Structure 1
Amino acid sequence: MPLPFLAADRDSPGSPPDRPLPHYGADDHWRRPYRPGPWRVAISALTLLIAAYLLLSALIIALAGAPAGATVTLTTAALAIAFALRLLRIGVWVSPRGLRRVGMLRTRTLRWREIARVRTVQQPVQWLSLPRSVQGQALQIERRRGEPLRVLLTTHSADFLGRPEAFDRAADVLEAWAAEHS
C-alpha cells in the first residue's frame, strides 16, 4: 500500500539532492520534499498504539453494557487516530502552484509569485518545538509583500533532529523550487 505522505519522491537512486522534484501533469499534486523524521513517526506510532488499546477498551465497555462509556472511549480513540495522522502530515509541501505549510490546526499556502526568496540562515531555533532554544540552521521565506513568515524548517525540529544532511537536502530542494518558480 503506497503511503505518499511518508515518502519523498526525490530519494530515488541516482538523483542529485539539489534538483527540483519532477512535475506531474496536475497542478494540484502536492508533495513533501523530505521524509518525516523519526521523532514524528515515533510519536505517531505511539499514539496509534494507544488508540488501538482505546478501541479494544471501547469494545469491552460496549459488551459490558455501558454504551455511554463506550461512546466516550470510541470518540477518544478516533481523536487519537486523527491526531496521529495529522502529525504525519505536518510539514512543508510543494507543487508547481506554490508552497504549503501544514500545521497541526492550520494550513497556509503561498503562491510562488508571493515569495521573494527562500534561504537558509544560522540562528537560535527551538528544540523539538519546545521553549528551549539552541543554535542551529533555519529555512526562512522572504515574502514580496506582507508580514514575515515563521521559520519553515529547522535543524532541531522533529523531522531533522540528528539528521543534518537531511535538512541540507530538504533546504536545497526547497530553494531550487523557489528559484525555478519565482
Structure 2
Amino acid sequence: MPLPFLTADRAFDDAADDAALPFDDRDLWRRPYRPGPWRVGTAALSLLLASYVLFAAVIIAFADSLAGAALCAGLAVLIIVGSLRLLRVGTWVSARGVRRVGFLRTRTVPWAQIATVRTAQQPVRWLGLPRTVQGQALILVRRDQAAGGQQLLMTDRNADFLARHEAFNRAADAIEVWADEYRTRAEYQPTA
C-alpha cells in the first residue's frame, strides 16, 4: 500500500537541473524532499511501542477487563495518530502557496502574500530542542509585515536534514524555484 505522506515525489530526485518544477498536476500539495532518518526512526519506534500497547490491550481483554483494554487500545490509537502526524510534519508546496505543517498546527501562505523565500545563516534549533547552533534556515518573508513578517520554513538541523546538507540545499532550491515562479504569476494576474 503506497503511503503518499511518507514518500516525497521522486520527480525532484529524478528531474534534470533545467526542470525545477517537473510536475504535471501542480495543484496537489507535495513535500519536495523525503522525510529524514530521525523523523522516520522516531515514528517507527512510536509505531513499535503502539504494537506493544495493542498487544497488552488484547491480553487485558482476555483477562476480562474490558475497561482497561479499551484504555490501552485508545492509548495505542493516540500513539499511531501521533506517529502519522509526525511523518507529515514539514514544508509542502503547491500552486496555491506554501504550507508549513507542524505537529499541532498547519499554516498556509498563498504565493500572492509572499515577498521572498531565501536561505540565511542564523542560529537554529537542533532537532527542535531549545539548544541552538549555527546553521542554515529557509525563511519566508511576507509582504504584510503585520502578520509576523518572517516565517521559518525549515532548517538544516531539523529531523529531516540533520547531517544531510545536500538534501537541505536541494529542498531549499526547489522551494525557492516554486516561490519565484508562483509569486511572478500572482503579480501578473489581473484582479477582478
Instruction: Normalising by structure 1, report the TM-score.
Output: 0.94
Q: Structure 1 residue 23: deviation in Å?
A: 3.7
Q: Structure 1 residue 98: deviation in Å?
A: 0.7
- Cα distance in 2 for partners of 1:24, 1:108 equals 22
Structure 1 runs, 4 residues or longer, greater than 2 Å off: 10-18
The SS at the match of 1:32 is: coil
1:148 aligns to 2:158 (yes or no): no
Structure 2 residues without counterparts, runs of 5 or longer: 184-192
The letter of the residue matching 1:155 is D
Match for residue 178 of structure 1? Answer: 179
Contact kept? 2:143, 2:149, Cα under 8 Å: no
- Cα distance in 2 for partners of 1:155, 1:128 equals 9
Contact kept? 1:18, 1:176, Cα under 8 Å: no
1:66 aligns to 2:75 (yes or no): no
Contact kept? 1:141, 1:152, Cα under 8 Å: yes
The letter of the residue matching 1:175 is E
Instruction: Normalising by structure 2, report the TM-score.
Output: 0.89
Q: Deviations over 1:75-133 (max 9, x none)?
A: 10000000000000000111101111111111111110010100000001000000111
Aligned positions of 1:69-108 closer than 5 A: 69-108=68-107
Percent of aligned positions that are identical:
56
Greater RCO (CA < 8 Å, at least 6 residues apart): 1
Q: Deviations over 1:14-55 (max 9, x none)?
A: 432871242407x3x100000000000000000000000111
Structure 1 residues without counterparts, runs of 5 or longer: none
Match for residue 128 of structure 1? Answer: 127
Contact kept? 2:12, 2:22, Cα under 8 Å: no
Contact kept? 1:115, 1:141, Cα under 8 Å: yes
